[in-house]
C-alpha cells in the first residue's frame, strides 16, 4: 500500500506575509530566539571598533574588546535608553560613553562610571552593565542570539550546512574564516522576509528570470535548486571558466577546494536569515534583516581569498549574483503586493520542485512561531 | 395629522469617515459586493489589451479575449501570488504569462501551461485558472463585481439612472456606447470616498465655491442639485452656448438628444462609486477608487462624439468640470481634517436641500454596511 | 527610624513613550483636560485676527473678538465639519465664514447666517454656534482648555510658578504681559513629549551636551537643574554680562527685576506643555504640541522688553537657547529610538539629581492618565 504526495502543497496563508501582528510574533519567537549573523568579523577588526544592526525589535552593537574578543550588547543605555552607538560602523577609544549623561561602559559592557556615581553608594555597578548577548564567531561572521537560553549553535547553524553538503567536512574546503569581504551591497526589499527565503530556496523560477545564472549553471533550467538535494551541487556549463556574469574570468579555485567541489555551485539556507552560495573561487553570503511585515534589508557579501585585487575581474564575478539578487528581489516585491488578496487567503502552492521548502522552511517556521 | 421632518438631519458619525476598521468593513461589504465601473471599453480595444485597477482590497485585471469579449480576473497568479500584469495599461500577445515561474493563463483565465506540469498528473488545469470576476459592459464601461453572487445589475446600476431621469429611455439619447474618451484626468483626493459622494450629490455649496458652474447653470444658486429631483435637470443660462468654462463654444448636441434634454444638465450617482454628468454635447463620467479611509483616487472621463477633434474647443469644455472637480476635492480634503474631531463625533447635518443624500446614499450605505 | 530612598528611581515603562494607544489616552485624559498655552496674545492683536493650532486631537482657532476679548473655538463648522480657518495665522473682516457652504459665525462663535436658513424655522441659531472653549490670558499668552469643566487655573498653572519661585510675587518682576516676542522658532522633534519634558527638568546632562550653557551658568556642571530647587536659581558666571551664547551683550535687566533676581536663571515647567526660562533681560517660553506618540512640535518664543531692537545683539541672546534646544532635541530623538527595546521594557532610571522628575512630573502624569 502506498500513499502519494499531491503535486501541489500549500504555503502558509497570505496574512503570514503581511500582517503586522504576526510580524511582532515572529520578532518575539523567531528573531529574538535564533542565531543571527550580524556582521563580518573584519567589520570589527581591532579593539574599540563597532558595528550596529537591527535584530528583531532591537538595536544591537557588536564591538571588539580590549582582549581581542568580540562582544555584543543591546545598544541601549541603562539610564535613559539612549542609543549608545549612533553610527552603523564606528570606533571608540576605550569605552562606550553615552553622549546624553555620560554613563560610561567598558568594552565588556560593565558600567565603569557615571557622573556623581560616588554619591550613590547603594548602586552596584555590576547590576547596571549593558544587556549582554550571546555571541559566536563562525565562518568569519559574528553570530548573535538575543535569547537568555540560545538554541544549540551546532543544531541551528552548523547542521544546516552539514545536511546540505551531506558531509561534515565539506565546508572546511572554503576556509571561510580566511576570506575577505571583496564587495558588500545592501538591498532594501519591499517584501516579507519569508518570500525572500522561499525565492532563494527554489530554482523553479530560474529559467524564467535568471538568464545569466542559467547560462553558467545549465542544470538550473530543470528547475531543481542546488538545495533541493543533499550532497549534490549544480555543475558549471562545460566551457565556463568561472561563476561570473558571462562565465569568463574568475580566480581559479580556493586552495582547499577538492576536485568534487570544483566547477560546482552549492546553496545553503540557514533559518531564519542566512543564505550561502559556494563556488570554487568565492562565497556569496546573504544576511536578511527583517524591518517590518513588508520590508527587509538584505546585506550581501562577496567573499574572496586574501590577495584578490579589486578591479574589473572582481566586478565581473560580483555582477552575476548582483543581477540575480535584483531579479529575485523585484519578483519578491511583485508577490508582496498580493499577499492581502482573497486569492492568497489560503496561501499559494509549491510544485514538486519546491517541496523541500515545506520540509526545510515552512515546517520549521510554523513550529517556531507556535512555540509560545 | 401631519408629522414634520426636522430641517437638520444627521450624517453618519465622524468615525465612519476616518476609521481604518470601518474602511475594511466597507471593502468586504460594499466594494467587494457592488458593481464597480473599472474602465472604459476603449481602454481594452483589441484581444490581449488589458487594464489593471484597484477594487477594494484587490488588484483586478480587465482584458479583452480572443473572442472579442471582455473578461476580468483577480490579477494574482495561483502559484505564488505574483502580480500577473504589472502595468496599468498594457498588452499581451496570446496569454497572460506570470513573469516569476511562467505559469501561463489564457485570456479566458484558464491555466494553459506551467513548467513541468506534465509531471504533475494529479493537477487538473481546470482547478487552477485565475479567479474570474463577473463582468458587464454598459454605457461604454466595463463593470466588474467581485462577489460570487453579484447583485442585480438592473437594480443596482440601471435603476439608479432610470430613477433620476424618471424615464427608462432617457439615457438612450446619449448613445453612450458610441462616445469616445476625449480626456481622462485622475485626481488623488485626501478624503474619504463618502465625503466625495456627499459633495457630488448636493448643490447647497455651489454658490459658495463654483463660480463658473453657477454662471452656466444659474439655478445652482438656489442650492438644489440636479439630483435632488427626479425627472428634472438644470437649465443653461439663457445666453450660454455650451456647458464650457465660460458658456461659449461646445459641440452643439449629440444626435439622439431631444428638445427636452437640450440646454440642460443632469447628474446621477450610482452607488458606491460612479457619478455621471449629462449635457447635450458630452458626458462627464467619474469613477471613485477608494484607497484608504482617508484617500480616494477619482478618475474622470470626458466623453464626446466620435469625430470631435482634440484642441482648444475641447479643452474649453473640459475646463469647466476640471475646475469644478478641483474646487470640490479641495473642500472635501478640508472636511476630512476634522473627521476625528469631537465636534463631529455624532456627525454633521444635512439641510433640506441635502435631504436626498440621507434617502439615496446614507440609508443605502448603512444598510449595506450592516449586512454581514 | 529612617527609611532611605534608593538612588535609582524608575521612570514609566518604555511603552508609555511609544504606544499609539497610550497616546490616545493621553489626548483624552491630559491634553483635552489641561490648560494649554496656545499662542501669544500679540499673535491676535486686533479684532478678526486669528491663530490656529493643534491641541490633542483637535484643531483650535483663537480669535480676537469685536469687543477686544480673545475667544477660542474648535475650528470645525457645525454643518459638515469643514476646517473653518485654514491658515495658521490669518485675519477675517467681520465673521468666520465657512468656505464650503457659507455657514457664517460671529467672532463670538454664534451662528449668524447660513444659506436658506430663513426657510428652516425649527433651527435655533443658538444651538448651532461653534464649540466654544475656556480661555484665559496669563503672562501674555492665551491658554485654552477643551474640557467642559476645566481644572482650576490657579492650581494647574499659577501654583506651578509660585512653587518654583517659592514666592507668589516673584513672577511679577518680569511683567510678562508687557514683553514682546522678539523671536519665534518652531522645532519638529521626533520624540515623545514626555522625553522632552524629562529632559528640560534635569541638568544631569548639562555637562555632557551643553557647553555654552554651562559656561554661562557654571553651577550646571553640578548636575542640579534650577527646578530641582524651590526658591533658588542658577547664578551667572562671575564675568558674564548676559545670558547669551558667550556671556556678552544682552540688555541689562527688565525694570521690575530685583537684586536677588539679577544675574540668575530660573526654570519652570507647567504640566503638560509649557517650559519657562527666566533671565534678567528676557524670558524664553516653550510650548509643546504633541502630534503623535513619537513626534512633538515645540514652539519657542524669546520675549524681550518693548523697544529692544532686532539685530545682532538680539541674535546673540537668542543663539544660546537655540543651541540648547537643538542639543536637547537631538538627544531626545536618540532616546526615542530605543523606547520599544526590551532593555526599556520596565523603563529607565532617575539618579538623585533627577528625583524631582518623579515627584513633579511622573506622579502627576500617571495620576492624570489613570483618571478615567
Check: CB of residue B268 under 8 Å from CB of residue B295. Answer: no
pLDDT tens per residue, range A346-360? 999 999 999 999 999
- Judged by CB atoms closer than 8 Å, whether chains meet at A352 and B101 is answered as no
C280 grid coordinates: 534678567
Is the domain B35-138 a CATH 2.40.50.1070 member?
Answer: no
Q: Nearest chain C Cα to A131, which residue?
A: C343
- Please state, as a whole number, how many other Cβ atoms lie within 10 Å of the Cβ of residue C41: 17
CA max distance for chain A? 80
The residues of chain C scoring below 70 in pLDDT are 1-3, 372
Point out the residue among C207, C223, C344 whose CB comes nearest to the CB of A76. C344
Element spanning C104, H or E: strand C104-106
Looking at CA atoms only, how far is residue A130 from chain C in angstroms?
Answer: 9
Please give the Cα distance from B84 to B100 (Å, whole number).
9
pLDDT tens per residue, range A56-78? 999 999 999 999 999 999 999 99
Please give the Cα distance from C103 to C94 (Å, whole number).
13
Interface of chain A toward chain C, CB-CB under 8 angstroms: 32, 57-59, 74-83, 86, 99-102, 114-116, 119-123, 131, 146
Interface of chain A toward chain B, CB-CB under 8 angstroms: 4, 6-8, 11, 14, 198, 204-205, 207-209, 223, 331, 334-335, 337-344, 348-349, 351-353
Helix spans in A117-219 (H): 153, 159-165, 193-201, 206-209, 211-216
- Judged by CB atoms closer than 8 Å, whether chains meet at C335 and A59 is answered as no
- Please state, as a whole number, how many other Cβ atoms lie within 10 Å of the Cβ of residue C71: 22
Please give the Cα distance from C130 to B297 (Å, whole number).
32
Q: For domain B163-370, give the CATH number.
A: 3.90.380.10
* Helix axes C312-336 and C193-201, enclosed angle (nearest 10): 120
- Judged by CB atoms closer than 8 Å, whether chains meet at B342 and C74 is answered as yes
SS3 sequence of chain B: CCCCCCCCEECCCHHHHCCHHHHHHHHHHHHCCCCEEEEEHHHCCCCCEEEEEEECCEEEEEEECCCCCEEEEECECCCCCCECCCCCEEECCCEEECCCCCCEEECCCCEEECCCHHHCCCCCHHHCCCCECEEEEECCEEEEECCCCCCCHHHHHHHHHHHHHCCCCHHHHHCHHHCEEEEEEEEEECCCHHHHHHHHHCCCCHHHHCHHHHHHCHHHHHCCCHHHCCCCCEECCCCCCCCCCCCCCCCCCCCCCCCCCCCEEEEEEECCCEEEEEECCEEEEEEEEEEECCEEEEEEEEEECCCCCCCHHHHHHHHHHHHHHHHHHHHHHHHHCCCCCHHHCCCCEECHHHHHHHHHHHHHHHHHHHCC
Query: Residue A2 pLDDT more than 60?
Result: no
- Judged by CB atoms closer than 8 Å, whether chains meet at B80 and A351 is answered as no
Neighbours of chain B (3+ CB pairs under 8 A): A, C
Give chain C positions within 8 Å (CB) of B352: 116, 119-120
Please give the Cα distance from B242 to A135 (Å, whole number).
78
Point out the residue among B205, B209, B340 whose CB comes nearest to the CB of C57. B340
User: What mean pLDDT do residues B274-284 have?
Assistant: 98
Interface of chain C toward chain B, CB-CB under 8 angstroms: 32, 57-59, 74-83, 86, 99-102, 114-116, 119-123, 131, 146
What is the structure's pLDDT at B1?
A: 47
Give chain C positions within 8 Å (CB) of B190: none
Q: Number of C-alpha atoms within 13 angstroms, CB side, residue C200?
A: 29
What is the structure's pLDDT at A1?
A: 47
What is the structure's pLDDT at A4?
A: 77
What is the structure's pLDDT at C4?
A: 77
Point out the residue among B76, B81, B116 whose CB comes nearest to the CB of A351. B116
C309 to each of C199, C280, C304, C315, how far by Cα in Å? 32, 17, 9, 10
Element spanning C165, H or E: helix C159-165
* Helix axes A193-201 and A312-336, enclosed angle (nearest 10): 120
What is the structure's pLDDT at C5?
A: 84
Helices (H) and strands (E) in chain C, counts: 9, 18
CA B95, B101, B106 angle in degrees (round to 5)? Answer: 20
- Class of domain A168-370 as given by CATH: alpha beta
End-to-end CA distance of chain B: 38
CA C11 to chain centre: 22
- Judged by CB atoms closer than 8 Å, whether chains meet at A335 and B57 is answered as no
Please give the Cα distance from C370 to C308 (Å, whole number).
46
> Comparing C-alpha atoms, which of B126, B153, B149, B124 is closest to residue B138?
B153
Instruction: Map out the domains of chain C as residue ranges.
Output: 36-138, 152-370
User: What mean pLDDT do residues B266-272 have?
Assistant: 98
Pairing of strands C180-189, B141-145: unpaired
Point out the residue among C207, C335, C341 whose CB comes nearest to the CB of A59. C341
- Judged by CB atoms closer than 8 Å, whether chains meet at C115 and B341 is answered as no
SS3 sequence of A295-356: EEEEEEEEEECCCCCCCHHHHHHHHHHHHHHHHHHHHHHHHHCCCCCHHHCCCCEECHHHHH
Point out the residue among A6, A208, A351 whose CB comes nearest to the CB of B100. A208
* Residue A362 or residue B229, greater confidence: A362
> Comparing C-alpha atoms, which of A331, A335, A353 is closest to residue A344?
A335
> Comparing C-alpha atoms, which of C299, C296, C306, C230 is closest to residue C268?
C230
Check: CB of residue B96 under 8 Å from CB of residue A202. Answer: no
Confidence of residue B205 (pLDDT cuts 50, 70, 90): very high
Mean per-residue pLDDT of chain B: 97
Give chain B positions within 8 Å (CB) of A204: 101, 115-116
Point out the residue among B208, B340, B352 whose CB comes nearest to the CB of C99. B208
C162 grid coordinates: 509660585
Residue indicated by cell numbers 544576511: A287
Residue C198 phi/psi, 5° resolution?
A: -60, -40
What is the structure's pLDDT at B5?
A: 84
- Percent of chain A exceeding pLDDT 90 equals 97
ipTM: 0.95
C20 grid coordinates: 499609539
Homologous superfamily, domain A36-138: Rieske [2Fe-2S] iron-sulphur domain (2.102.10.10)
Pairing of strands A264-270, A180-189: unpaired
A and C: number of Cβ contacts within 8 A: 87
C243 to each of A15, C283, C318, how far by Cα in Å? 59, 10, 9
Element spanning A284, H or E: strand A282-292
pLDDT tens per residue, range A235-293? 999 999 999 999 999 999 999 999 999 999 999 999 999 999 999 999 999 999 999 99
pLDDT tens per residue, range B350-372? 999 999 999 999 999 999 999 86
pLDDT tens per residue, range A173-187? 999 999 999 999 999
What is the structure's pLDDT at A45?
A: 97
What is the structure's pLDDT at C1?
A: 47
What is the structure's pLDDT at C2?
A: 58
- Judged by CB atoms closer than 8 Å, whether chains meet at A122 and C6 is answered as yes
Please give the Cα distance from B62 to B45 (Å, whole number).
11
Q: Nearest chain A Cα to B82, which residue?
A: A335
Give chain B positions within 8 Å (CB) of A20: none
pLDDT tens per residue, range B169-185? 999 999 999 999 999 99
> Comparing C-alpha atoms, which of C215, C235, C238, C209 is closest to residue C332?
C209
- Judged by CB atoms closer than 8 Å, whether chains meet at B342 and C131 is answered as yes
- Please state, as a whole number, how many other Cβ atoms lie within 10 Å of the Cβ of residue A99: 18
Q: Which CATH number fits domain C152-370: 3.20.20.150, 3.40.190.10, 3.90.380.10, 3.40.50.1980?
A: 3.90.380.10
Please give the Cα distance from A123 to A129 (Å, whole number).
12
What is the structure's pLDDT at B326?
A: 98
Please give the Cα distance from B352 to B169 (Å, whole number).
30
Residue B268 phi/psi, 5° resolution?
A: -135, 140
Contacts of C306 (CB under 8 A, 6+ apart): C178, C179, C180
User: What mean pLDDT do residues A77-89 have?
Assistant: 98
With b for 16 or more beta-carbon neighbours within 10 A and e for fewer, the A152-191 pattern comes to: eeeebbbebbbebbeeeebbebbebeebebbbeeebebeb
- Judged by CB atoms closer than 8 Å, whether chains meet at A334 and B100 is answered as yes
Tell me the pTM.
0.96
- Judged by CB atoms closer than 8 Å, whether chains meet at C341 and A81 is answered as yes
Point out the residue among C337, C348, C353 whose CB comes nearest to the CB of A80. C348
Point out the residue among C76, C114, C120 whose CB comes nearest to the CB of B341. C76
CA A289, A293, A299 angle in degrees (round to 5)? Answer: 20
Q: In what order do the strands lie in the sheet with A180-189?
A: A180-189, A295-304, A282-292, A274-279, A264-270, A234-235
CA A316 to chain centre: 23
Which of B348, B357, B358, B361 to mutate: most C Cβ within 10 Å? B348
Helix spans in chain A (H): 20-26, 153, 159-165, 193-201, 206-209, 211-216, 312-336, 355-357, 363-370
A and B: number of Cβ contacts within 8 A: 88
Amino acid at each position: 500500500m502506498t500513499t502519494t504526495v499531491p503535486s501541489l502543497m500549500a504555503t502558509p496563508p497570505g496574512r503570514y506575509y503581511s500582517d503586522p501582528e504576526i510580524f511582532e510574533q515572529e520578532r518575539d519567537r523567531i528573531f529574538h530566539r535564533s542565531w543571527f549573523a550580524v556582521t563580518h568579523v573584519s567589520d570589527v577588526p581591532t579593539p574599540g571598533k563597532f558595528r550596529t544592526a537591527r535584530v528583531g525589535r532591537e538595536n544591537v552593537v557588536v564591538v571588539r574588546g580590549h582582549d581581542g574578543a568580540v562582544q555584543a550588547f543591546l545598544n541601549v543605555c541603562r539610564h535613559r535608553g539612549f542609543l549608545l552607538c549612533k553610527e552603523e560602523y564606528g570606533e571608540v577609544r576605550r569605552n562606550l560613553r553615552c553622549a546624553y549623561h555620560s554613563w560610561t561602559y567598558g568594552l565588556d559592557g560593565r558600567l565603569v562610571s557615571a557622573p556623581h556615581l560616588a554619591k550613590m553608594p547603594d548602586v552596584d555597578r555590576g547590576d547596571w552593565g549593558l544587556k549582554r548577548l550571546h555571541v559566536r564567531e563562525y565562518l568569519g561572521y559574528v553570530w548573535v542570539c538575543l535569547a537568555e537560553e540560545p538554541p544549540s549553535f551546532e543544531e541551528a547553524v552548523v547542521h544546516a550546512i552539514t545536511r546540505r553538503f551531506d558531509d561534515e567536512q565539506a565546508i572546511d574546503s572554503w576556509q571561510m574564516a580566511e576570506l575577505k569581504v571583496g564587495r558588500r551591497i545592501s538591498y532594501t526589499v519591499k517584501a516579507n522576509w519569508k518570500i525572500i527565503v522561499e525565492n532563494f530556496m527554489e530554482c523553479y523560477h530560474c529559467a524564467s528570470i535568471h538568464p545569466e545564472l542559467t547560462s553558467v549553471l545549465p542544470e538550473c533550467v530543470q528547475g531543481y535548486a542546488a538545495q533541493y538535494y543533499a550532497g549534490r551541487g549544480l555543475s558549471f556549463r562545460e566551457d565556463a571558466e568561472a561563476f561570473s556574469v558571462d562565465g569568463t574570468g574568475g580566480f581559479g579555485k580556493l586552495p582547499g577546494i577538492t576536485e568534487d567541489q570544483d566547477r560546482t555551485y552549492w546553496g545553503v539556507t540557514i533559518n531564519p536569515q542566512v543564505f550561502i552560495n559556494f563556488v570554487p573561487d568565492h562565497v556569496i553570503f546573504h544576511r536578511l534583516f527583517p524591518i517590518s511585515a513588508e520590508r527587509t534589508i538584505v546585506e550581501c557579501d562577496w567573499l574572496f581569498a586574501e590577495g584578490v585585487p579589486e578591479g574589473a575581474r572582481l566586478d565581473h564575478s560580483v555582477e552575476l549574483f548582483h543581477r540575480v539578487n535584483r531579479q529575485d528581489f523585484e519578483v519578491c516585491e511583485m508577490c508582496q503586493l498580493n499577499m492581502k488578496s482573497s486569492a492568497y487567503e489560503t496561501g499559494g502552492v509549491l510544485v514538486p520542485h519546491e517541496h523541500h521548502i515545506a520540509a526545510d522552511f515552512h515546517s520549521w517556521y510554523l513550529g517556531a512561531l507556535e512555540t509560545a
